Amino acid sequence: MTAQNYLITGGTLPDGTTADVLVEDGLLAAVGPDLATPVGTEVLDAAGRVVLPGLVDLHTHLRQPGREDAETVETGTRAAALGGFTSVHAMANSTPVADSAGVVEQVWQLGREAGWCDVHPVGAVTVGLGGERLAELGAMAESRAAVRVFSDDGMCVADPVMMRRALEYVKAFDGVIAQHAQEPGLTDGAQMNEGALSSMLGLAGWPAVAEEAIIARDVLLAQHVGSRLHVCHVSTAGSVELIRWAKQRGIDVTAEATPHHLLLTEELVRTYNPVYKVNPPLRREADVMALREGLADGTIDTIGTDHAPHTAETKECEWTVAAMGMTGLETALPVVQLALVDTGLMDWAGISRILSSTPARIARLADQGRISPDGVFEIGAPANLTVYDPTVTRTVDPERHATKSRNSPYRGMELPGQVTDVFNHGHPVVRDRALATPRQQHQQNHQTGTTQQ
């Protein structure tokens, strides 16, 4: 058995100070300089590394049940742990769809059994993602999975009446609707960002207004009914401006950007390599810059990986028939460092905010005692910690990733930084850059039917 108590020494905290962090019985026992080492405590030297609150992803596709050839909860959460995530939200577009209490409880239980990180199922908004009837929102909220985030991701809730009803319904239990903003009538057959390049390549264009029109409608609906709206994978400069406008008017809207939309542009589509085919599509350089600025000034609240694993059969084929999506859990923090930290746009306190405390707040994890509301190292809180070395540089090799799928757009790219250690409720799931052991089942005491972040 590994030691139950740990002292992480000499690490740099998000605020830039150097301190030790003591973990006892799965909780944060002390934070400060030159802490004494209690008897029986294992010491981890974190000098030169950043110690962050465990990362939280609001947007992960784990594919199980039904798509185990592409990913499972086990393999997906192994990838999450290696990426520094102690909590992930599993999107509902599985087979069967997670539109009932039974399916979300199955996913929740699979996460507990895997033990690499906490898994919070996202419930579907409509039955079968069909957009015609509301799913069992209340039953999923009251289930052991305690669902608070609902999304038809992969499909837009295009009917405004249906969207209004969903926003009204989730108010009863402080839920949030996470919208995949894509007007279907404007994107039928779309293959890439609409513009001069799409015309040159002969690929059907995906206009920015298809995303922006839905965001404009939905922020007004959220204002009208007084409910919470979360916009998934924002990808255009116009979307950033709409969200900024809504926030200035006090509308309760939050938004996320993906790592790949912070770094990659439509120019990669010139290769016709379907690894770059994603929904929403890679946009222009100006959109990338607008997303970065939006994160830096707080308009965009968080990073969601939109980790979307696919089999080789569905991805390594002709562009027009290839599946949309990229893997991203294991490369998220290095990409964020490259796009935001190394460019001087954000410091590590900002990264802690957008990758830990804010997504936890949006998902109402803080309200259930899972993480301090402001993401700081709160004494007595569960010890969910990510130790990260920002000084190293690695070449991305998807063949070595823990995810089942290999559709990483960063293959062969040099990225900065590496997660070295991850503690999930005080248990080391990653040690010295490699998977260690999952949390023991006796540590997953879940008497009330809700997991801890």
Q: 3-state SS of 92-142?
A: CCCCCCCCCHHHHHHHHHHHHHHCCCEEEECECCEHHHCCCCECCHHHHHH
Confidence of residue 448 (pLDDT cuts 50, 70, 90): very low
In the structure, what pLDDT confidence band is assigned to residue 117 with cuts at 50, 70 and 90? very high
- 306, 342, 389, 421: the catalytic one is 306
Least confident of 235-239, 357-361, 437-441: 437-441
Whether residues 351 and 416 share a domain: the answer is no
pLDDT on residue 178: 98
Q: Are residues 37 and 77 in the same domain?
A: no
Q: Over range 225-248, report the average pLDDT.
A: 98
Residue 445 lies in a domain: no
Asked if pLDDT for residue 423 goes beyond 80, the answer is yes
For residues 132 and 145, membership in a common domain is answered with: yes
Total count of domains within the chain: 2
In a domain, 175, yes or no: yes
Question: What CATH number is attached to the domain comprising 241?
Answer: 3.20.20.140
* Confidence band, pLDDT 50/70/90 cuts, at residue 410: very high
Q: Mark whether 21 and 150 lie in a shared domain.
A: no
C-alpha 296 chain-centroid distance: 18
For residues 360 and 411, membership in a common domain is answered with: no
Q: Is residue 373 part of a domain?
A: no
Task: Tell me: do 81 and 218 sit in the same domain.
Answer: yes
Cα–Cα distance for residue pair 200/167, rounded to 1 Å:
41
pLDDT at 370 exceeding the cut of 60: no
Given this model, what pLDDT does residue 381 score?
87
In a domain, 452, yes or no: no
Torsions phi, psi for 149 (to 5 deg): -110, 130
> Could you say which of 344, 368, 392 is where a domain stops?
368
Mean pLDDT computed over every residue of the chain: 94
In a domain, 446, yes or no: no
Residue 394 has pLDDT above 70, yes or no: yes
Binding residues are: 59, 61-63, 93, 153, 180, 233, 279, 306, 310
Closest-CA residue to 352 (of 202, 343, 361): 361
Is 306 an active-site residue? yes
Q: What is the pLDDT of residue 96?
A: 98
In a domain, 448, yes or no: no
Element (H or E) spanning 196, and its range? helix 196-201
Q: Are residues 234 and 361 in the same domain?
A: yes
The last residue of one of the domains, among 339, 368, 397, is: 368
On the question of pLDDT at 445 being above 50, the answer is no
Amino acid present at 282 = L
Residue 165 has what pLDDT?
98
CATH number of the domain bearing residue 37: 2.30.40.10
The answer to the question of residue 288 being in a domain is yes
pLDDT digits (tens, 9 = 90+) for 60-73: 999 999 999 999 99
The yes-or-no verdict on residue 369 having pLDDT over 70 is: no
Q: Are residues 23 and 138 in the same domain?
A: no
Parallel, antiparallel, or unpaired for β 118-121 and 85-90? parallel
pLDDT at site 67: 96
pLDDT at 142 over 80: yes
Range of the domain at 106: 54-368
Minimum mean pLDDT range among 80-84, 303-307, 439-443: 439-443
With CA atoms as reference, report the closest residue to 89 among 67, 104, 68: 104
Model pLDDT, residue 377: 83
* Residue where a domain stops, chosen among 323, 347, 368: 368
Count the alpha carbons within 13 Å of 56 in the hemisphere toward its beta carbon. Answer: 27
Question: Do residues 23 and 103 share a domain?
Answer: no
209 and 270 share a domain? yes
**375 assigned to some structural domain:** no
Q: pLDDT > 90: what percent of the chain?
A: 92
pLDDT tens string 164-223: 999 999 999 999 999 999 999 999 999 999 999 999 999 999 999 999 999 999 999 999
**pLDDT in the model for residue 4:** 85
Q: Is residue 373 pLDDT above 70, yes or no?
A: no
Given pLDDT bands bounded at 50, 70 and 90, which one contains residue 441?
Answer: very low
Pair (305, 430) in one structural domain:
no
pLDDT of residue 378: 86
Calpha distance 212→176 (Å, rounded): 19
* C-beta separation of 211 from 182 below 8 A: yes
Residue 46 has pLDDT above 90, yes or no: yes
pLDDT, one tens digit per residue, over 291-338 is 999 999 999 999 999 999 999 999 999 999 999 999 999 999 999 999
Let me know whether 258 and 277 are in one domain.
Answer: yes
